[in-house]
């Protein structure tokens, strides 16, 4: 039942426990010969450092938390993959929390992270309330916002311009001759949904239309394909606009599916565009136009900022990074079959 401690390694190598610790944490301070001997003892005994003891004494861990809204959404798994790459490279482990859009779940997850004394947290907040995050910061846990611009200059964030993305999507639909746009939004509490909507309104206004009349908004409780299906059913009953913009691709794919099931032709009867440009968007029944975000980079850069903040708190300067999204046009808004991603 082998919990080998630093002590036994020390005995085996004929040195003091402190030296083992030095080999582990500042190898350069210990003579090559001793180092070698210690390494061998570690190998032979199968020693594995007790992370908790280390964290307890050192006052901080080599762990960061990642809190996302929906781990079932490829957007977030792409982000997570980017996070994991960087963290892993710098020797940090990642604890993943899925808030599923529920505020209390998010809160529970953050509590767990606080208990684990994570070094920092990457979070896509499920609402706009900064109180919880300030509480973390007061505990000495660094926080970087992901896919959410920081309001204040004393914190890091990495985001993509959602207003602009909404504008692009709507402008594209308008350029196809649409005069009425359905906007399938996620929960009104999610900032991204609100921003994209503002973008739509702006584009509609710029086209000389009245936003109140030209935009039909459907709010869904979450942002899954199922919610998209339901939204489509609702709009089919209420009167379908000739152009629809869904706040993410999962919604759009569900929406599309319901339309096809009902015999609606896309894009002939309805032009449809999603958001995120997840991999599956290009492969759907009618390939889906979308607004692409640099997902993977989002994760990478957020993690780099966070770990810089953790490891070099004195030289670190807070940054609010803002990317620009990119319109990707496919069949669902043009009818041109197999208009694929250029990099595919």
Positions touching its own copies (CB under 8 A) are 1-3, 46, 48-53, 55-56, 61, 63, 71-72, 74, 77-78, 80-81, 84, 88, 93-98, 105, 108, 111-112, 114-117, 135, 138-140, 225, 229, 253-254, 256-257, 260-261, 279-280, 282-287, 338, 340, 344
Which residues in the 303-322 window bind DNA by CB under 7 A? none
- What is the signed CA dihedral for 195, 196, 201, 207, rounded to 10 degrees? 130
| d(C-alpha 251, C-alpha 253), whole Å | 6
| 53 three-class SS | helix
Q: In this structure, what DSSP letter does residue 239 have?
A: -
Q: How far is the CB of 31 from DNA (least distance, A)?
A: 4
Q: Are 166 and 177 in contact (CB under 8 A)?
A: no
Question: Binds 16, which of its own copies, DNA, none (CB < 5 to 8 A, cut-off by type)?
Answer: DNA
Burial class (CB in 10 A: 0-12, 13-18, 19+), 104: exposed
Which residues in the 43-62 window bind DNA by CB under 7 A? 47, 49-50, 53-54, 56-59
If one asks whether residue 34 binds DNA (CB under 7 A), the answer comes out as yes
| d(C-alpha 299, C-alpha 126), whole Å | 17
Q: How far is the CB of 101 from its own copies (least distance, A)?
A: 13
If one asks whether residue 39 binds DNA (CB under 7 A), the answer comes out as no
Q: In this structure, what DSSP letter does residue 275 have?
A: S
Nearest to 166 by CA among 139, 202, 131: 202
Question: Binds 112, which of DNA, its own copies, none (CB < 5 to 8 A, cut-off by type)?
Answer: its own copies
Q: Are 256 and 286 in contact (CB under 8 A)?
A: yes
If one asks whether residue 20 binds DNA (CB under 7 A), the answer comes out as yes
For tokens 């020693």, name the residue: 47
Q: Are 196 and 165 in contact (CB under 8 A)?
A: yes
Binding residues for DNA, rule CB under 7 A, total 29
Q: How far is the CB of 22 from its own copies (least distance, A)?
A: 18
End-to-end alpha-carbon separation of the chain, Å? 51
Question: Binds 284, which of its own copies, DNA, none (CB < 5 to 8 A, cut-off by type)?
Answer: its own copies
Which one of the spans 8-16, 168-176, 271-279, 286-294 is the region binding DNA (CB under 7 A)?
Answer: 8-16
Task: Find how far residue 62's CA is from the centre of its chain.
Answer: 21
| Token couple for 120 | 């920092």
| 220 three-class SS | coil
Which one of the spans 14-22, 139-147, 247-255, 264-272 is the region binding DNA (CB under 7 A)?
Answer: 14-22
Question: Binds 24, which of DNA, its own copies, none (CB < 5 to 8 A, cut-off by type)?
Answer: DNA
Question: Binds 29, which of DNA, its own copies, none (CB < 5 to 8 A, cut-off by type)?
Answer: DNA
If one asks whether residue 30 binds DNA (CB under 7 A), the answer comes out as yes
Binding residues (CB under 7 A) for DNA: these are 3, 5-7, 14-22, 24-25, 29-31, 33-34, 47, 49-50, 53-54, 56-59
């Amino acid at each position: 039942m082998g919990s080998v401690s630093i002590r036994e390694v020390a005995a085996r190598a004929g040195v003091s426990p402190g030296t083992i610790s030095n080999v582990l944490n500042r190898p350069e301070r210990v003579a090559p010969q001793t180092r070698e001997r210690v390494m061998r003892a570690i190998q032979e005994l199968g020693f594995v450092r007790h992370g908790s003891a280390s964290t307890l004494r050192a006052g901080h861990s080599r762990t960061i938390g990642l809190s996302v809204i929906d781990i079932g959404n490829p957007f977030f798994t792409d982000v997570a993959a980017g996070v994991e790459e960087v963290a892993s490279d710098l020797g940090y482990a990642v604890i993943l929390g899925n808030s599923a859009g529920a505020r209390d779940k998010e809160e529970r997850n953050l509590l767990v992270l606080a208990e684990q004394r994570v070094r920092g947290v990457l979070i896509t907040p499920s609402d706009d309330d900064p109180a919880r995050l300030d509480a973390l910061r007061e505990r000495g846990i660094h926080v970087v916002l992901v896919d959410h611009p920081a309001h204040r200059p004393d914190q890091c964030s990495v985001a993509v311009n959602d207003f602009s993305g909404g504008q692009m999507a709507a402008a594209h639909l308008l350029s196809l001759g649409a005069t009425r746009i359905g906007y399938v939004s996620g929960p009104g509490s999610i900032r991204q949904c609100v921003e994209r909507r503002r973008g739509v309104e702006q584009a509609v206004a710029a086209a000389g239309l009245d936003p109140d009349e030209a935009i039909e908004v459907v709010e869904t409780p979450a942002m899954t394909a199922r919610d998209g299906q339901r939204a489509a059913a609702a709009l089919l009953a209420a009167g379908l606009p000739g152009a629809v913009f869904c706040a993410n691709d999962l919604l759009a794919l569900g929406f599309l599916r319901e339309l096809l099931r009902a015999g609606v032709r896309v894009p002939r009867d309805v032009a449809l565009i999603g958001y995120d440009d997840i991999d599956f968007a290009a492969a759907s029944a009618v390939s889906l136009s979308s607004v692409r975000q640099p997902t993977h980079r989002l994760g990478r850069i957020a993690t780099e900022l966070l770990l810089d903040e953790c490891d070099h708190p004195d030289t670190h300067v807070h940054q609010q990074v803002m990317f620009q999204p990119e319109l990707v046009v496919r069949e669902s808004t043009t009818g041109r079959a197999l208009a694929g991603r250029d990099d595919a």
